[in-house]
Structure 1
């Protein structure tokens, strides 16, 4: 099981320059992602005078998050791995791909990046509200929890398949866009129900700035559970105990 490879890490690790650089990269990647993603929602509210949500607004949010995450993962990939999500970091930890101490630095940087992005948005828009994630009518916390678990499972499974798997071969080149696409697709599927967070940091920033914490635990529990399941499933079935796999030649597909 991948849990056998979980590592806490050594205290000296947190003072190493590469750990600090990686955390800083996560901070900036998260700031870029949240500023564009949350900002797209605020722009929609501005254009519609805080009107009700529409299918067009959902599509716009999906595209904004997909494009922004593609960029955020790409710019951080060579420094921190481009997690841009505490749940992705947790999934990497469960699979033994990052130590707990390094992961804590990532989490702090990711949360700070989201909060700073939301504060910048509030100031830049003259005090417009950064809306916290919330459940739609007739959606219970258990509905939302299941949605977040399944959507984050898909996200972290994609991360493992395209970025973590040592047999990924040329597929690794498309990892950022694949990760952006699954998030965009999940927003189309779940956005109308609970906002489709899949990312505790994305939920945390708006909650802090607007100081709205209703059902906030769902946006932590769901992504972390989904990430852990995806990490264990992919690692156990497709990495651990599986023989070396030679990627197909590009002439074969």
Structure 2
């Protein structure tokens, strides 16, 4: 009698030169690296509805919503504190930070937040990003209000903390169009730089072929680049809560609508453009590769109609 033994599965081939971040698994910026199912209906609920009933077909999260909101609050607090402190210090000490320093404060703030909380909450720290990902079905709509509430409250808390530390220099951290810059110019600039930001963020956060572990570096570098380009014109907010919190603390709401509307439209457009142009062959074949990752990606949970 012949006994057949199952040969062990081949190990994942080592990345040439070794992984860039050994042992780190960053689930940056997105609820799932796979897109939300596009069944045309809603999401299944398995507790009190029939099996095929739907309200929303979302995968069960491996982290509780409370912990996600906690991580989102802390991450947003860190980002707003750092991104706003740079311009305030620049104002208080007569240009000590310079534009490069202000760009570094925001870019490095984004990077460390993504690397530290991306695997918990996705490290959105930006309502425009949350809305854009939900609109493109990379994030469940049912969690959007809670995420935005955490982001807004963290922004206001960070801004009042800065007010307590640096008063009366908080006006340096408020994002308003620079002198000589029209409302239309500021609006278009915020739209374009947020488009760029979300194009990059969608690539590294939702495409399974992208290097997910480098999301923090890629997005942080994009933020720095955008501030170097637009910091002297519109203030380079790219984030409604980057403007809202300091505006509330300083009592300066001048042209605030620009920084609420333009980034949101730019974010949705940037995420949509990448979603349209990306190659979908891997997703259609059911494969899910992740660069510099060990282990298999989790399977997506699709409702029955998604398979037809």
- Pairwise TM-score range, normalised by the shorter structure: 0.7 to 0.9
Q: How many residues align?
A: 239
Deviations 1:51-102 (A, max 9, x none): xx69x61111001111111011111101111111111111111110112221
Q: Does 1:83 align with 2:124?
A: yes
Q: Tell me which moved more, 219-228 or 122-131.
A: 122-131
Higher-helix-fraction structure: 1
Closer/same/farther in 2, CA of residues 117 and 241 from structure 1, 3 Å limit? same
C-alpha distance in structure 1 between counterparts of 2:133 and 2:117, whole Å: 15
C-alpha distance in structure 1 between counterparts of 2:41 and 2:279, whole Å: 18
C-alpha distance in structure 2 between counterparts of 1:6 and 1:207, whole Å: 40
Q: Which runs of 4+ in 1 moved over 3 A?
A: 2-11, 239-249
- Written as runs of structure 1 = structure 2, the 5 A alignment for 1:51-200 is 57-130=98-171, 131-168=173-210, 171-200=211-240
Closer/same/farther in 2, CA of residues 178 and 125 from structure 1, 3 Å limit? same
C-alpha distance in structure 1 between counterparts of 2:166 and 2:248, whole Å: 17
C-alpha distance in structure 2 between counterparts of 1:248 and 1:76, whole Å: 20
| TM-score computed with the length of structure 1 as normaliser | 0.85
Q: Tell me which moved more, 92-101 or 118-127.
A: 118-127
Unaligned stretches of 5+ residues in structure 1? none
Q: Which entry has the higher C-alpha Rg, 1 or 2?
A: 2
Closer/same/farther in 2, CA of residues 23 and 194 from structure 1, 3 Å limit? same
Unaligned stretches of 5+ residues in structure 2? 1-35, 44-54, 293-308
Give how far 1:132 is off. 2.0
C-alpha distance in structure 2 between counterparts of 1:199 and 1:248, whole Å: 29
Deviations 1:108-151 (A, max 9, x none): 11111111001111112354324421111221111111111110
| SS class of match (2:170) | coil
